[in-house]
Structure 1
Amino acid sequence: MIPAERRATALHRVEERFDVRPLDRVSSFKVKLGVLVAVVVTVASLLAWAGFYAGLQPLLTIPIVVVLALVVTQLLARGMTSPLREMTRAAVAMSRGDYSQRIRASSRDEVGELAAAFSTMAAELEHTDQLRRDLVANVSHELRTPVAGLRAQLENLVDGVTEPDPAALEVALGETERLSLLVDHLLDLSRLDAGVVELDLERVELTPFLHEVADAADLAAGQRDVRWIVEVEPPDLAVTADAARLHQVIHNLLDNAARHSPARGRIRIMARGDAARGTVSIDVHDEGPGIAREDRSRVFERFQRGGAPDSSGGTGLGLAIARWAVGLHGGSIEVLDDPRTEQARSGRSSLIRVTLPQEPPSLR
C-alpha cells in the first residue's frame, strides 16, 4: 500500500472512532438543521449570559462563545454529514474498480436513505462487474475450443497431414457451425439485455411444428444415436406464439437432451393442453443422468450446466436463452421431478417443461 493510501486509511479510522451521531433518530434532514440552529443559538446565549454575570469583558466573552458554538456545531454536524463523506470515498474507490465499499447508514433521514440506496447500488454494480468478468472468461473459453479445433484441422489440411476428404471437411464444418451457434447465442443475449426483441405472434399447430423441430434437431445431432418421440394431445393442439422463438426454445432443449442422452436413447417431446388454465405445456424428457435437485434453477443461468461450467460440447447458453424466450411469451420453464423411479429417488431429473399461455397477455 502506498503512503498516501495508508494515511487515508488511518484518517478514516480516526474519523470512525470520533464519529458521533446524536441526531440519527430524527427522521428529517430539515428538522436536523433546525435542531442544530436551535442548539447553537441556545448554547451561545447561555454562554453569553454566563460571561455577563461572571463579569467577563465582551472582548473575551465573544471569542469564547464563538469558539464553543463552533465546537458544538462541529459535533452535531459531523454525524449529519458522515454518510456523505463515506459516499465520496466509496465513489472514488468505485472509479478505481473497487465496488466493495459500503456506507454505514444509521440515520433515518433523507441522507440515510441515500446512503442505503448507495450501498445497494454498489452491491449491484459489484455483482454486475463480476458477471461481466465471468462472461468474458466464459466466452473466451467457449471460443477457444472450436477455434483451436478448426485451426488444427486447417493446418493439417494445409500441411498435407490430412487429405481434404469429406470426413476432414466435416470436422472443420462442425467446428465452424459451433462457432456460428455461439455467435448467434451471444447476439440473442445482447438483445435480451437491451430489451429490443418484439414477438411476431401467430397460431402454431404443434403436431407438425414439433415434428419439424425434431427433424432439425436430428439433423444437427449428426452422429448421436438417439430416437425422437413426438406426442401431442389433442393432435390439433395449437398455441399463439412467435414460431421462430418457440422453434429456438424447443431446438435448444432437444440439443441439450441429445448431448446428454446415452447411445440409442429416446427423447420424448410431449405437448398437452390445459383448457381450465388456458395453457399449453411442452415436456422434453431424455434418458440421461439428469440435473441434481439443488441445480434445477441454476441450470438456466448463462454458461451453466447442472450448476457447473458447461463442458458437454454445447455453448452453455441454450437453456438461458430458452428461459428468456419463454418469458417473452409470458410463460415459464422449469425442471420437474423425473418420472423414472430411480432418478426420482436420487433427486435428479432430465424432464424440462415449458408452459405457455394459449394466448399471450398482450392479446387478451
Structure 2
Amino acid sequence: MSETREPADLTPHLSDPVALTRAICDIPSVSGDERNLADAVEAVLRAQAHLEVLRDGDAVLARTRLGRTSRVVIAGHLDTVPIAGNLPTQLRTLEGEGEVLWGRGTVDMKGGVAVALHLAATQPAPALDVTYVFYDHEEVEATKNGLGRVAANHPNWLAGDLAILGEPTGAHIEGGCNGTIRIEIATTGTTAHSARAWRGHNAVHDLAPVLAALAAHESETVTVDGLDYREGLNAVFVTGGIAGNMIPDRATVTVNYRFAPSRDAAEAEAYVRAVFADIPGLTFTVTDLSEGARPGLDHPVAQGFVEAARAATGAQVNPKYGWTDVARFSRLGVPALNFGPGDPMLAHADDERCPTAQFTAVADALAAWLGRAPGAAAPQEKEDA
C-alpha cells in the first residue's frame, strides 16, 4: 500500500471527461489502496459551493440541496484490480476503434467515476437534486465493499428516486441485474480400498444424476419491467476423492444459479432444490447469495433518463446479466441502472481501453438530462445527515 500524500490536483481537468479520466486512472488505486484517490476526489468536491460533502472511510459522497422534487444518485467505485504494466495511461489510435484511452481503470470503472466528478463540478443547479457517491473496495470480497458499508452505516445518504451506476456498458443502459446463488450439493458414501470396491459406496458416482439433471435443464428467460433476463444454472466446481486407490465417501458439485430479479433469495434456493427433488440422498449448503435488482423502468424519473440517453447517444436498453452494486440500491428501495463508458468485455484485461468518444457521450447525455429533467420545486429545509 502506498503512503498517503498530498492529494493530486484534478482541478485542471474537470471540464474535459477524457482528460479527467486519464488523470484519475493515473492515480493508482488497487483495492485497499484508494486513500490517495479518495482524497483527491474529496478535495474537488469540497471546492464546490453547491455541494455538501460526506465521508465514510474511503467512500466520499457529495449532494446538492436545491429542494427539487426528485433526487438521483450517481455512483462509481474508486478501486481497480491489480496493475499489470498498464499504467500510466496512453492515448492510442487503433484501427477499427479510433482514438482510445488505454490503461488500467479506463473501463472498470474510472471513466464512470470521471463522468460523475465532471458533473459534480460543472452542474451547480441541476433540475434534479443529485447525490454523487465514490466508494472503495468493490473489486474484492463483498464484506469490504464501501457502498455496502455506507448502506449499513448511513442508508439515508443513499436515498433517491433512481440510482445510476457508472459501470461499463458501452454507453448503453443496462437495467437492474440478475441475482446469484451458489449451492454445494453433496453426496455421501462409504470408503473402501479400490481393489475391493464392492465393500464401499462411491459418492462420486452418486453425482451422476445431479450432473445429468444440470445437463438436461433448460434455463428460463424472465421478463421484468420490460427487460428479458436470461437465467442460468450450471455446475462450476466438482470435488471428490481421497487417494488413487480409495473409494471416495464424499463428493460435491457446486451449482451457480443466476436468477432474474423477479425472484428473491428464498425463491431462488427453492428453485434449485426443486431441480434435484427426485434425487435421494443429497445435502444442500448455500455458500454465496446476492439478490438481484429490478430496473424500475416504470418510475417516471427512470423513464425520463432513458428518453434523454436515447436522444443523446442512441442508447439501447438491455438487462444486466451479471451482478453489480445496483442490487445494493435495490435493497434500499431505489431502482437502479448501469450506464457508463467502456466495453465490459475488456474489464480487468491487460489491454483495457475505451474509445475516448464514449467518455464524452456519457457525460453529455447525463448533463443534458440533469439540465432539463422535470421536478424543480421550491427549496426545502436541509435534510438530516
TM-score of the pair, normalised by structure 2? 0.24
More helix by share: 1
More strand by share: 2
Structure number with greater Rg is 1
Larger relative contact order, structure 1 or 2 (CA cutoff 8 Å, min sep 6) = 2
